[in-house]
Amino acid sequence: MKHTYTPAQIIANFLKWILLLSLLAVALLPLLWLLISSLRTNLELQTNPFGWPKDMQWVNYAKALAMASLPRLLLNSAVVAASSVILNSAVTAMASFILARERFRGRDVLYTLFTAGVLVPVISFMVPYFSLITKSGLYNTLLALVLVYTAVNIPVSIFLVTAFMKSIPKELEEASVIDGCGFFKRFSVIILPLSRSGLVTAATFCFIYSWNEFLMAMLLTSSIESRTIQLGIKFFTSQFITDYASMYAAVVITIIPSIVGYVFLHDKIIGGLTAGAVKG
């Protein structure tokens, strides 16, 4: 049966699409501008920031790859981000299991202490982290970044995963105890697999942070061997002059892994974010 729309429904639909398309434009136009700008000359960018390239400047990409040792920095970023995600997920999963599923004195205080870190600006950790890393001999190593990124993300990860684990029905765990599961098995066989969506969400936030972080990387490293991609982007900015075109090319290269990661994991990320919202 053909559905007929009332004038009010047509107007509502029209307004809905206008709103959605506007939001789409807000989300996509900056990316499109970035892509176009990465193919223009600096003079074109300075004189007419929103124009089209006269000739496609693919050379910007070649310069971006060559000048800032981007391949090496990309590898470093991948290593740091992957390692931080694995370490953060492992620590978070174990801590959240205890905080969500076990009853003990001071649990709420401990949970508050862990998650209160969300409210503290990372910049306030700069001096203590710098002291800690240099005194432990880890300055200018990738391990320093892995440890710091893991630690910085623990509050938000615990906040997300604990909430997710709390939503898992207690009966599942009780049944597993009757079947002979001990403490470790309850964690690894029952709760951990069921918390996958929550962990993926936390891991995604950790990955995005580790991939995009700049200030700590600048502070805790000093050579190309241990620096990450975000520092590479800044190689196009000197004290007074910025090679915007090459920098935008470098930015396009660096956001590709985040986009690819999101494309593969977006169902789990969205699932993880929304699952806790509908469960009581």
Q: Which two tokens stand for residue 222?
A: 């000093």
Per DSSP, the three-state class of 138 is coil
Which residues, at least 6 apart from 162, have a Cβ–Cβ distance to it below 8 Å?
95, 96, 99, 100, 111, 115
What backbone phi and psi angles, to 5 degrees, belong to 181?
A: -75, 135
With CB under 8 A as the contact rule, the residue among 13, 22, 131, 136 that binds other proteins is 131
**Binds other proteins (CB under 8 A): choice among 34, 35, 36, 41:** 41
Whichever of 86 and 208 has its CB closer to other proteins, that residue is: 86
Whether 80 contacts 149, CB under 8 Å: yes
List the x/- string, 201-220, binding to other proteins by CB under 8 A.
Answer: -------------xx--xx-
Instruction: Answer yes or no whether residue 234 interacts with other proteins by CB under 8 A.
Output: yes
239 is a site residue for other proteins (CB under 8 A): yes
**Contact pick of 11, 21, 43, 118 for other proteins (by CB under 8 A):** 43
Q: Quickly list H helices, the chain.
A: 7-37, 42-47, 59-67, 70-101, 107-115, 126-135, 142-166, 170-178, 183-185, 192-194, 196-212, 215-220, 229-233, 244-278
Query: 132 vs 273, which CB is nearer to other proteins?
Result: 132
**Tokens at 186, concatenated:** 């309850």
Instruction: Please report whether residue 109 would count as binding other proteins according to CB under 8 A.
Output: no
Report if residue 244 touches other proteins, rule: CB under 8 A: yes
Write out the two tokens for 188: 């690894």
**Are 157 and 206 in contact, with CB atoms under 8 Å apart?**
yes
Q: Which of 142, 148, 190, 249 binds other proteins (CB under 8 A)?
A: 142
Which span (51-59, 110-118, 136-144, 258-266) binds other proteins, by CB under 8 A?
Answer: 136-144
Is 210:149 a contact under the CB 8 Å cutoff? yes
Question: Smallest distance, Å, CB 2 to other proteins?
Answer: 53
Question: Phi/psi of residue 242, each to 5°?
Answer: -120, 130
* Residue 235 interacts with other proteins (CB under 8 A): yes or no: yes
Among 87, 148, 199, 202, binds other proteins (CB under 8 A): 87
Give the count of residues interacting with other proteins (CB under 8 A). 55
Task: Show Cβ contacts of residue 35 under 8 Å, excluding neighbours closer than 6 positions.
Answer: 252
Residues within window 180-199 making contact with other proteins, judged by CB under 8 A = 184-185, 188-189
Distance between CA atoms of 212 and 254, rounded to whole angstroms?
9
Residue 86 beta carbon to other proteins: minimum distance, rounded to whole angstroms: 4
**Site for other proteins (CB under 8 A): which residue of 26, 124, 171, 240?**
240
CB of 105 to other proteins, least distance (A): 28
Interface ranges with other proteins (CB under 8 A): 41-43, 45-49, 67-68, 75-76, 79-80, 82-83, 86-87, 90, 126-127, 130-131, 134, 141-143, 145-146, 184-185, 188-189, 214-215, 218-219, 222-226, 231-232, 234-244
